[in-house]
Amino acid sequence: MTPQLEAEFREYVEARRGALLRTAYLMCGDWHTAEDAVQTSLIKLYGRWSKTRQETADAYTRRIIANSLIDMSRRGWFRRERSYAVPPDGPAGPSTPDDRLTAVSILAKLPPRQRATLVLRYWEDLSVDETARILRCSTGTVKSQTARGLQTLRDLYENADLAGQGARS
């Protein structure tokens, strides 16, 4: 990599890593895991920087972050995909006034792919097409994941006291 390209890469890292970290955190609910995913994406981006236009770098890093976080949730030795079919815990009492804990707990109840889809659509404001490219799935899948995710959240918000049940998915 030429010094000029490396300088541009450094500028990109310093300008974008904060936003990428926040996006990653919303997808996984854990700052350490989010930081690891951001590091992974930026290290991989370094190797492709000479072939990557700055305007597409965000899409590339988001793709690495989203897919690594989704994959990480599936890779555990004793985890299974179908375990996501287990319904969330039922309501446990009156809602808490702590909005942050409630928000974190509710997000933790979402399956990783639904959660990533919602983050990309409504936090990053990406289109269905852009989200599908990042998650490497069809636009139909993005739409169905979005609908399911919103429905799940709606149900959780209406019924459950979720504060303090853990943030990590």
Partner 1 sequence: MKPDEMRELFKDALAEPVSVACAGTDDIVAAGRRRVRRRRVAQAGSGSLAAIAAVALFAIAPLVFAQGGAADATTDGAPDDVGPVGPVEVCPPPSDEPTGWQAGVAAAYDTALTEYMASIGGSVADSCVQGEVNHDGFHYDERFGGYRFAEVVVFPDSGERVTLGVDVHDPLDGDVEARLEELSRCEALDLACGREEVPEGSLLLVEEQRRIVIDDDERPEGELVPVNSALLALQDGTIVHVQMAVEYGPGSLSTTPEQLSSLAAAIPVAQDVPYIEESEDTDRRAAPTDDELIYDFVEAASSTLGGSPFTSPDSIEFTDTGEDYHYGQDDTRVAAAEVTLNGTSATLFLQVTPIEAPEDGAADGIAAEHYAQCSYAADCEYSPLDESTELIHRTVEDGGTELTSLELRSADGWVVGVGLVTDDPAAIDFATLDAIVAGIR
Contact 10, 150 (CB under 8 A): no
Minimum CB distance to partner 1, residue 102 (Å): 7
Choice between 89 and 122, CB closer to partner 1 = 122
Distance in angstroms (rounded) separating the CA atoms of residues 93 and 113: 28
Task: Taking the CA atoms of 68, 74, 29 and 159 in sequence, report the sign of the dihedral they define.
Answer: positive
Q: Could you give the C-alpha distances from 112 to 4, 84, 88, 96, in angstroms and in order?
A: 38, 9, 14, 25
Q: Find the part of the chain contacting partner 1 (CB under 8 A) among 28-36, 51-59, 88-96, 126-134.
A: 28-36
Distance in angstroms (rounded) separating the CA atoms of residues 147 and 85: 16
Tokens of 90: 């039922």
Tell me which of 17, 133, 143, 148 binds partner 1, using CB under 8 A.
Answer: 17
Looking only at residues 111 through 130 of this chain, which bind partner 1 when binding is defined by CB under 8 A?
118-119, 121-123
Which residues contact partner 1 (rule: CB under 8 A)?
Answer: 1, 6, 9-10, 13-14, 17-18, 21-22, 25-26, 29, 31-32, 34-37, 39-40, 42-47, 67-68, 71-72, 74-75, 77-78, 80-83, 99-100, 102-104, 106-107, 118-119, 121-123, 136, 150, 153-154, 157
